[in-house]
Amino acid sequence: MTNEIDRLRHMYSTQYNPDPQDRNYIWHPLNPISIYYRQAQERAIAELFRKNKLSLPDLHVLDIGCGNGGLLRYLASLGIPPNQLSGIDLMSNRITAASQLVPLGISLIAGNAESLPYTDHFFDFITQFTVFSSILDTQLRHRIADEMMRVLKTDGYVLWYDFYKTHNANLHSTSIQEAQQLFPGMAVRYLQRMHPVNITRIMRHSRFLAGLLELLPGTPKSHCLILFQKP
């Protein structure tokens, strides 16, 4: 696993470590493409919570690959108490950045998700956003999924958001079937395909068209949002 972890650290420190002043970087918070993805994610998560009638103030949540804490900040804004939110990320510099941005009380740890530093059955809700697509090693993907299952309570949830279509050689396309195999026995409570393929190219021409294609069910999509529930 060491070589794969080293590859991930190198990828995150080079390809995804831009100048914070570079607003042309696609994931800069002020870049229109970044805003588009973030707003689409937030709308989908809000709809998911509404449809499944989850009591947000009661959830203890762990975000795998939390980055600078963007998802944790959004979950806190929805009413989950900060002291019930936790995040872990492989990159210590991202944890440092997150600690300066998230509400006081959120727990942040720099660490490897194949060995989570939490007790069994601790969390009600675990999220992962584009973590598994970054991992090319099959065994490592399964190790992380097993650890997520270990620290998840009975009847707890896993929120999965990831690529199932990508042509990037540094990423792994994960089909819905493969996602289910990583969490055997878990029921699918919600599934939504998201983001038109080539959305970044579409966004450069028309934000309106991008939003319209997002809503059209027949449009080929690149990502999938799945809510799993542990039996």
User: 13-56: per-residue pLDDT in tens?
Assistant: 888 776 777 777 777 888 888 889 999 999 999 999 999 999 99
178 belongs to a structural domain: yes
pLDDT at 143: 97
161 belongs to a structural domain: yes
Containing domain of residue 109, as a range? 56-191
pTM: 0.93
131 contact partners, CB below 8 Å, separation of at least 6: 64, 65, 113, 144, 162
CA distance 226 to 160: 5
- CATH number of the domain that residue 142 is part of: 3.40.50.150
Confidence band of 198 (pLDDT split at 50, 70, 90) = confident
Expressed in percent and rounded to 5, the helix, strand and coil fractions of the chain are: 40, 20, 35
- Residues 86-101, mean pLDDT to the nearest whole number: 96
- Residues 173-181, mean pLDDT to the nearest whole number: 92
Could you give the number of structural domains in the chain?
Answer: 1
Number of H helices, E strands in the chain: 8, 7
pLDDT at 26: 74
CA distance 115 to 139: 13
68 belongs to a structural domain: yes
Sign of CA dihedral 154, 231, 136, 61: negative
**Residue 83, token pair as written in the block:** 């002291």
Q: H or E stretch including 115? A: none
Mean pLDDT highest for which of 24-38, 80-94, 156-170, 206-220? 80-94
18 belongs to a structural domain: no
184 belongs to a structural domain: yes
- Residues 104-129, mean pLDDT to the nearest whole number: 97
91 belongs to a structural domain: yes
For residue range 130-170, what is the model confidence (pLDDT) as tens digits? 999 999 999 999 999 999 999 999 999 999 999 988 878 88
96 belongs to a structural domain: yes
37 belongs to a structural domain: no
**Residue 67, token pair as written in the block:** 């980055």
